[in-house]
Chains A and B, each alone.
Chain A
Amino acid sequence: MNLQGEKANVDFGQGVLREVNVSLVEAKVGDYVLVHAGYAIQIIEEEEAKETLNLWNSILEAGQ
């Protein structure tokens, strides 16, 4: 995404760009954001996402 005041251009994937209101989050250019009805409501933590998957794999392997 790139930023202009409370509005940001967010790439929804495959080149789909939309203007999104980011006044509910402290977002910076390059962040992934969760968008609900035109407003970014949270920043998605990519590192956290990777860790979640690692955690699941370890939980599942531990029990086998």
Chain B
Amino acid sequence: MAENLKFRNPQLAQNIAAKIRSLAPKAGKTKICHVCGTHEWTITHFGLRSLLPNGVEVIAGPGCPVCIVPAAEIDEAVQLAKMDVVVTCFGDVLRVPGSQMSLLEAKASGADVRIVYAVSDAVEMAKREPNKPFAFFAVGFETTAPSTAVEALNNPPKNLSFLVSHRLIPPAMELLLGVGDLQIDGFIAPGHVSAIIGLKPYELFPRVYRMPTVVAGFEPIDVLMSIYMIVKQQAEGKARLENEYPRVVKPEGNLKAQEMIKAAFTVTAGNWRGIGRLPDSALQLREAFADHDARLKHGVHVEQGKDILLGCECHLVIIGKIRPNECPMFLKGCSPEKPVGACMVSNEGTCRVWAKNVAVQA
């Protein structure tokens, strides 16, 4: 549908870029931060930065749900795997480094670790093999949390538990505003997170922080349009919350999904790799589901892990403080084939997106 409807139309892209250029002198310095790995992919893959005038810059914030899972939680998954619990996870999670090893390394040393496409696959596996304990490693932002909630609420098999590492995006955006030398002038808010949570959670950014905020889709025209909308607000000296992606994002979001998240989880403080502990930024299963909480059921708890290896600058890439090519290890010892840091592991990681698309950009 997207292509039929010309969301990749080059002429439209050129028109929008021209509008951005014409507004740029009035807008002045405009540093725009997005918080979604898929936005970074669109921007990098389609070379959108090359269309922007001097002064208008787009940086990538903590938008990769796999990259921000702290090592301590990978360690918990590894512990489960070593206790002969079958650990099921999304493919991206497999190679994320823990303090001692990744789940892939645990698998190589004999643990039963299985990739699933959806949490429902884990449910099916657990039903098929009722004599084995299973755990689903629930990683992801608000986009993924509802699917975990659906299965947690749907009377899951007794032998299935959830290792919940879900995180919430708005608290991370708020954190970025406190990072003094980042000096962000506007936010592109993530379309698919917003499809769930709606517009309300972003209202504080224009109201409290005077930060133009535009919810955007993932086609190149969507992203360019959102940049234009932010630059326009900046030129007018205004800060508003706007929705560029109404074909998917309703103002109220997906109420059914919100209800399910609420029914299954409580909001709590959580650690983010490269960032640290953020209040009210993580989900944990409600007490009613304690029998299915992998941490409680199997007694795993890791307080502190080793998030960043020596020489790796993932912690700076994750908050948009440096670009991947400013890390001394980027493609020099850290590559998609042999990743060192989490940002090079996941398809949504900024380093991996750059590594895979550098040739296109150059």
Interface residues of A (CB under 8 A from B): 21, 23-26, 32, 34, 36-39, 41-42, 44-46, 48-53, 56-57, 60, 63
Contact = CB atoms under 8 A, between A and B. Distances in A.
B297 interface: no
B5 to A, nearest CB: 5
Ranked nearest first, the 9 interchain pairs of A and B with the lowest CB-CB distance are A38-B118, A49-B247, A39-B147, A48-B247, A42-B195, A24-B257, A36-B143, A60-B15, A45-B247
Contacts of A21: 118, 120, 147, 150
Contacts of A44: 1, 247-248
Given A44-B1, A56-B221, A37 B247 contact: no
Contact of A24 (B120, B147, B246): B147
B260 A24 contact: yes
A26 B143 CA distance: 17
Kindly name the residue among B117, B221, B248 whose own CB sees the greatest number of chain A CB atoms within 10 A: B248
Given A39-B150, A42-B195, 6 more contacts: A24-B146, A24-B260, A36-B192, A41-B254, A49-B1, A56-B12
Nearest to A18: B117
Contact of B146 (A41, A45, A53): A41
A49 B244 CA distance: 10
Contacts of A26: 256
Contacts of A23: 150, 154
B19 interface: yes
B150 A24 contact: yes
Nearest to A38: B118
A42 to B, nearest CB: 4
27 contacts: A21-B147, A24-B254, A24-B257, A25-B254, A26-B256, A32-B1, A34-B195, A37-B90, A37-B144, A38-B120, A38-B147, A39-B146, A41-B146, A41-B195, A42-B195, A42-B248, A44-B248, A45-B247, A49-B1, A49-B247, A52-B244, A53-B6, A56-B16, A56-B221, A56-B225, A60-B16, A63-B22
A28 B196 CA distance: 19
A48 B7 CA distance: 13
B32 interface: no
Contact of B5 (A37, A39, A50, A60): A50
A47 B223 CA distance: 20
Contacts, number: 88
Interface in B114-167: 117-121, 140, 143-144, 146-147, 150, 154
Contacts of A32: 1
Nearest to A41: B195
Contacts of B246: 45, 48, 51-52
Contacts of A24: 146-147, 150, 254, 256-257, 260
Contacts of A37: 90, 117-119, 140, 143-144, 147
Contacts of A45: 246-248
Contacts of B221: 56
Contacts of B6: 53
Interface in B1-40: 1, 5-7, 12, 15-16, 19, 22
B32 to A, nearest CB: 18
Contacts of B118: 21, 37-39
Contacts of B150: 21, 23-24, 39
